[in-house]
Structure 1
């Protein structure tokens, strides 16, 4: 778990400034689109170069070393825009990751009780680009002490970092978001069986207020087997994430299934009805590793019921033979 510190509601993340030994502050330049914002929201022409600055302040009596990077925005599997990954797996529709045309130091030493300027050079691509290029300037103290919390099955390491958002554009052209449904996959999260549906924002714009509802049926069934709903998600431009549908305490059963999904963002609506298969070997492999599942004993009940029926028939037969023998005597 990696709580981050951010400067605005556009980058909604958990904050805990008391855990930090330093602070950061963006120096807003003249080409800022909205000067009331404390993150970078810049209009830069094709091929133009610009250097922006962040002031880093060491608030301790000891020298600090801070690790820094400009990270391309992605979307994590909780439906939250993520700026923490220095080398993320990028979506195949992303043509201009912000990390490829920014230059900055990867490590900054700040003397005790002092401030230091941190410059980031931006070189805009030469071609015309419509839409938003999104990322975040990420700051984390080197050799930061890690705080651990532990549950029965999961150990979590808490580290703290700052992120200052960086949003770049070349023009005012409005881009309409579009959402695609890709692979539907049986898998596990924290050793619990889930089916994930990969959702992809294929356009260079932030997809806001995303609500998703999914239901899973047998291939031609009408009874809902499993369902999931999540509201108020947000996706980075040209990114994807895996939306999970929990299988609860049920084992995976091999077979063909159907997933009906509806997604909405404002007035935009997307609907899908897609088939997928859980194969025998996949079901067995995942069930063997899963926690908290309740085995399906239906087959055992069927066998037990059949044996009971045979026993009753045998008793009736034997009773009939005995009665017939008495009549003959």
Structure 2
């Protein structure tokens, strides 16, 4: 079963996942604190280290987390129940309080678990943090997936870089996973569809020009071990290809999948996109996504203006 105890190390707005854990305590040496799940009567799977809760519509209950301060100073943390979303690199993250268009989940973890809290933990001490749960009245199938995200907002030492007027400020956070089910008997499969297509850049390819394809998972289920292949052609000639494996999409989420041009400028014209997405060994999710596309804005060589392509 996928994850779910994740350590985050944040640099400015860059999130680096620190790996998967099998014990019930999340620890980060840099963060100087740990978080541990306190056993819940609503736990569906007792073998996992995160909260895997089976609840009923309208149910009222609570979950608790023990926060231990390993440092010699009082810690002032922010604890946020955050719904999972999919990053543009094809991973699931839990660091955003407000997701906007990144999530189409009918319910957000923040609403169900009472919102953000400020937590003060004494030096070399611990504190139990309680999150009240109020389930919505309308039943749902599938999962609501997220995490309890503990952030130390205090900025550590500033690190200089080789870029003028650019520095890095470190902040540290830990995430303790939360998955909520109401119906554990009905299997809900992820369902992918194609969203908008636009021109942009591929950060993973040194900000090369790219075609950004919005991929949507419209179901309350995670898409795991996602394998995406794509081809972009123009006038019958294949120009760009991708073959990306081991992506993961959060339930009810979307992300922009970048097809790099390998630093070549896009020329005006009509392009054809052919994309196939498969999830793990599940033959039930093999989605073929195809569409014609036109770059909306392209730079004309030798001029500073942008030309619209009709």
Would you say same fold, with TM above 0.5? Answer: yes
- Secondary structure at the residue paired with 2:238? coil
- More helix by proportion, 1 or 2? 1
Q: What is the TM-score when the length of structure 1 is the normalising length?
A: 0.78
- Secondary structure at the residue paired with 1:225? strand
**Match of residue 37 from structure 1:** 48
**Match of residue 12 from structure 1:** none
Q: Are 2:88 and 1:72 equivalent residues in the alignment? A: no
Contact 2:74–2:120 under 8 Å retained in 1: yes
**Which residues in structure 2 correspond to 1:5-154 (within 5 Å)?**
8=21, 17-91=28-102, 93-103=104-114, 105-145=116-156, 148=159, 150=161
Q: Are 2:261 and 1:252 equivalent residues in the alignment? A: no
**Match of residue 284 from structure 1:** 299
Q: What is the TM-score when the length of structure 2 is the normalising length?
A: 0.83
Question: What is the total number of aligned residue pairs between the two structures?
Answer: 280
Contact 2:201–2:258 under 8 Å retained in 1: no
Displacement of 1:252 after TM fit? 1.7
Displacement of 1:152 after TM fit? 6.4
Displacement of 1:17 after TM fit? 2.0
**Alpha-carbon distance between aligned partners in 1 of 2:122 and 2:40, rounded to the nearest angstrom:** 26
**Alpha-carbon distance between aligned partners in 2 of 1:151 and 1:104, rounded to the nearest angstrom:** 40
Displacement of 1:178 after TM fit? 0.7
Displacement of 1:260 after TM fit? 0.9
Q: 1:149 to 1:70 in 2, by over 3 A?
A: farther
Contact 1:46–1:127 under 8 Å retained in 2: yes
Displacement of 1:120 after TM fit? 0.5
Q: 1:263 to 1:283 in 2, by over 3 A?
A: same
Displacement of 1:46 after TM fit? 0.6
Larger mean CA deviation between 119-128 and 264-273 belongs to 264-273
**Alpha-carbon distance between aligned partners in 1 of 2:149 and 2:291, rounded to the nearest angstrom:** 39
**Alpha-carbon distance between aligned partners in 1 of 2:243 and 2:157, rounded to the nearest angstrom:** 34
Unmatched 5+ stretches in structure 2: 1-13, 305-310
**Alpha-carbon distance between aligned partners in 1 of 2:196 and 2:88, rounded to the nearest angstrom:** 14
**Deviation readout 1:215-268 (Å, 9 max, x if unpaired):** 1100x41x3211122111111110000000011121121111011111111212
